[in-house]
Amino acid sequence: MFKRVFNLRFISNFSRRPTSSPKLPKLIAITGGTSLGIAFFGKTEENKNLDSGNGQLIDGKPKNFDLIVRNSDELYDNYLIDNCYNILKKFENSNCSELLWRLARVVCEKGKLSKDQNQRKELILEAYGIVKKALDNEPKNGCFGAHKWYAILLDYVGEIEGNKSRIEKSFQVRKHLEKALSIFENDPTTWHILGVWHFSFANMGYATRMVAKAIFATPPASTYQEALHYFLKAEQISPGFYSTNTYYIGEVYEQLGQKAEALDAFKQSFKMPVVTSDDAVIHKKAYEKLKKYGVKDTEVV
C-alpha cells in the first residue's frame, strides 16, 4: 500500500492471468473470476425478463452473455486490452455485475498502461465508479469479481489520495478480498493479493505504523508466516502462475532468514516469462536479488 515497505501493488496481480478463469460448464456463466452459480434463465423466466425493445434482460444481462464473457476474458488473458475494452464498453450502462466488474478491470488496466499521470488517475477513478456499480447490483448469491476488483480499485484510490487514506481503507480492502474467496476460493490471484496485504503489514516501517496507530485503536498487523501461507496457497492452486507470487515467496523466506529457500524462489521468478510490464519489473527485481546473493549470470540464464 505505502511507499517502500508498505507497497501493496494489488493491480499488477490481475493484469492478465488465465488462471483466474475457472473452467466451468458452459451453462454456468462464470469465467475470469466470477460468481459461482449464475446459470442461464430457464426458458419461461427468460421470456419474462426480456425487454422486447432491445433484446436485453431487465437486469442488464444480454442474451449472449456467456459469449461476451468468454470472448472478453480471452482477450484480457491475452493482454489485448483495447479489444476487450471495445466489447465491454457497450455495457457500461447495464446493471450486470459480471460485465461491470470486467469493464472496471479493463479500464483499470488502461490506466496502468497510460504514461500520462492525470489520465491514469482519471481512468482509475472511472474504473472505481464502475466496480462500485457492480457491487451495488451484486446478485443474492454474490459476485466474486466485483468484490475482488472493488478491493483492488479501493486500494488504488487510496494510493491516489495518499498514505493516510490507504491505511484507512486497508481493512475494507481485506474484507472484500476475503468475501471474494468466500464466494470462489480457488482463485490464485486473490490468495496472492491477500499475501501481499499481510506481507505489507508485517513489513511496515516505523513511520507508517505510527500513522496507522493514529487512525485505528488497533491498527492492521500481520506476520511473515501469515503472508507465506497465502502465497503458498496461491501456488498450490496454480503452480508457477505468476512471477510476482514466486518473488514474494522469496521475499518472505528472506525475512525469515531462510536464505536457500529465498534464493531458489528468486531464481524461479527470474526465469519465468516476461509478458507484461509487471513481469518486467519483477524480472528486474529478481535479478537484483540474485546479484545481491552473488549468483552469476551463467547460473540462471
Q: What is the CATH number of the domain that holds 162?
A: 1.25.40
Q: What is the pLDDT of residue 207?
A: 74
Q: What is the pLDDT of residue 59?
A: 52
Tens digits of pLDDT across the chain (301 residues):
433 333 444 333 343 443 333 332 222 222 233 222 222 222 222 222 333 334 445 455 888 999 999 999 999 999 899 999 999 999 999 999 999 999 999 999 999 999 999 999 999 999 999 999 999 999 999 999 999 999 999 999 999 999 889 889 999 999 999 999 999 999 999 999 999 999 999 988 767 778 777 887 677 889 999 999 999 999 999 999 999 999 999 999 999 999 999 999 999 999 999 987 788 999 999 999 999 999 998 888 7
Q: What is the pLDDT of residue 60?
A: 59
Nearest of 140, 143, 208, 141 to residue 180 by alpha carbon = 143
Q: Give me the long-range contacts of 17-25 (CB less than 8 A, separation at least 24).
A: 17/77, 17/188, 17/189, 17/241, 17/242, 18/77, 19/187, 19/188, 19/189, 19/237, 19/238, 19/241, 19/242, 20/187, 20/188, 20/189, 21/73, 21/77, 22/184, 22/186, 22/187
What DSSP line would sit under 184-200, residue for residue? -TT-HHHHHHHHHHHHH
Whole-angstrom CA distances from 248 to 111, 162, 202, 206 are: 24, 24, 13, 21
Q: Is 58 inside a domain boundary?
A: yes
Domain of residue 21, residue span: 11-185
Q: Is 146 inside a domain boundary?
A: yes
The total number of structural domains in the chain stands at 1
Nearest of 44, 51, 87 to residue 69 by alpha carbon = 87
Q: Is 148 inside a domain boundary?
A: yes
Nearest of 97, 101, 96, 106 to residue 74 by alpha carbon = 106
Q: Is 201 inside a domain boundary?
A: no
Q: Is 44 inside a domain boundary?
A: yes
3-class DSSP state of 167: helix
Q: Is 251 inside a domain boundary?
A: no
Whole-angstrom CA distances from 286 to 96, 137, 227, 269 are: 40, 41, 19, 6
CA dist 47 and 68 (Å) reads: 20
Q: What is the pLDDT of residue 208?
A: 73
Q: Is 226 inside a domain boundary?
A: no
3-class DSSP state of 146: helix
Q: What is the pLDDT of residue 276?
A: 78
pTM, full prediction? 0.78
Q: Is 91 inside a domain boundary?
A: yes
CA dist 238 and 230 (Å) reads: 13
